[in-house]
Amino acid sequence: MLNAKLALASHSDHQTIVKLSEQVAFGGSELVIIGGPCTVESRLQMETVAQELQRAPVQALRGGVYKPRTSPYAFQGPGLEGLEILSAVRERYNIPVVTEVMSIAQIDSIVAHADMLQVGSRNMQNFDLLKALGQVEKPILLKRGLAATIEEFVMAAEYIMSHGNSQVVLCERGIRSFDNYTRNVLDLGAVVALKQLTHLPVIVDPSHAVGKRELVAPLARAAVACGADGLIIECHPEPEKSVSDARQALSLEDMVDLVQSLQPVAAAVGRQISQSLRVPQLAVAS
């Protein structure tokens, strides 16, 4: 494997723990489940997600505010207004939030509002962005490029780490192949390989991998079975009305059921999902 120095496992039992908050960390025996919509659409939407997913429970919320859309005419995300929604919900529900960073210019405002910065697939080899994220004192969720090899993926993590930030979590989210029945092909072999090759936590995004909601839950269970340290899954109060990635969004009820269904799988591989219910600091959203 190339000349990675920092990301590779030097001895088999060392595992980096990436802390997301006082209560939540990737890479320990507890799995980290991140749920939420593809895009932040409104305060009410995010309040509903946070409220309902306490029952799952999930350990973190997701929601894009800067969206890498294939078409320049598609909604590009709510920007700063969305970041303010994320940080309000994070405060009210005492739950960490993850959101995507697409450019160096966005870093400071995202750092001020979120707990973890996601590098999307389309930016996995945006080396200037990776270098800049090396200077950030927040964990980075690095998604595998649309057609990146395992080696390229590890070297992208190496960029962030070699510039000073060792808090990197890898995310397998499917790779392009010839068959478009599923949006991508979920590469669980890569999850196993990355767990062996590196000391970094590895999570799986089955939503973008398959692109169809009815395929998400079985693959989420398979990911946990093969050693993933967590999951990031798209869900929405009204999935069909999602402004982006509607076809793969789970309902909040299905998300709660999915997380519950992970319990026996997690137990079978010596992992746990925190069952503690979070009490919101205030009553339901106004």
| Residue 146 identity (one-letter amino acid) | L
**Pick 16 or 242: Cβ nearer Mn ion:** 242
Residue closest to Mn ion, measured at CB: 38
> Shortest approach of Mn ion to residue 166 CB, angstroms?
27
Closest C-alpha to 208, from 121, 285, 110, 82: 121
**Pick 68 or 164: Cβ nearer ligand PEP:** 68
From Mn ion, ligand PEP, none, interface partner of 68 (C-beta below 5 to 8 A by class): ligand PEP
Q: Is residue 38 involved in binding Mn ion (CB under 5 A)?
A: yes
The secondary structure of 54-74 as a DSSP string is TTTT-SEEE-BSS---SSTTS
**Pick 95 or 142: Cβ nearer ligand PEP:** 142
From ligand PEP, Mn ion, none, interface partner of 121 (C-beta below 5 to 8 A by class): ligand PEP
> Shortest approach of ligand PEP to residue 184 CB, angstroms?
9
Residue closest to ligand PEP, measured at CB: 120
Binding residue (CB under 5 A) for Mn ion from 50, 213, 245, 258: 245
Round to whole Å and give the CA distance between 81 and 243.
Answer: 16
Buried b (16+ CB within 10 A) or exposed e, 114-123: bbbbbbbbeb
Count of chain residues binding Mn ion (CB under 5 A): 2
Question: In the structure encoding, which two tokens stand for residue 227, read together?
Answer: 């050693």
> Shortest approach of ligand PEP to residue 46 CB, angstroms?
15
**Pick 83 or 132: Cβ nearer Mn ion:** 83
> Shortest approach of Mn ion to residue 190 CB, angstroms?
20
Question: CB 178: neighbour CB atoms within 10 A?
Answer: 5
Q: Which residue bears the tokens 């749920």?
A: 35
> Shortest approach of ligand PEP to residue 64 CB, angstroms?
5
3 state SS of 252: helix
Question: CB 225: neighbour CB atoms within 10 A?
Answer: 15
Q: Is residue 172 involved in binding Mn ion (CB under 5 A)?
A: no
Q: Is residue 205 involved in binding Mn ion (CB under 5 A)?
A: no
Question: In the structure encoding, which two tokens stand for residue 50, read together?
Answer: 């946070």
Strand partners, 45: none
Binding stretches for ligand PEP (CB under 6 A): 38, 64, 68, 120-122, 143, 173, 205, 208
63-106-169-61 Cα dihedral, nearest 10 degrees: -20
User: Contact residues for Mn ion (CB under 5 A)?
Assistant: 38, 245
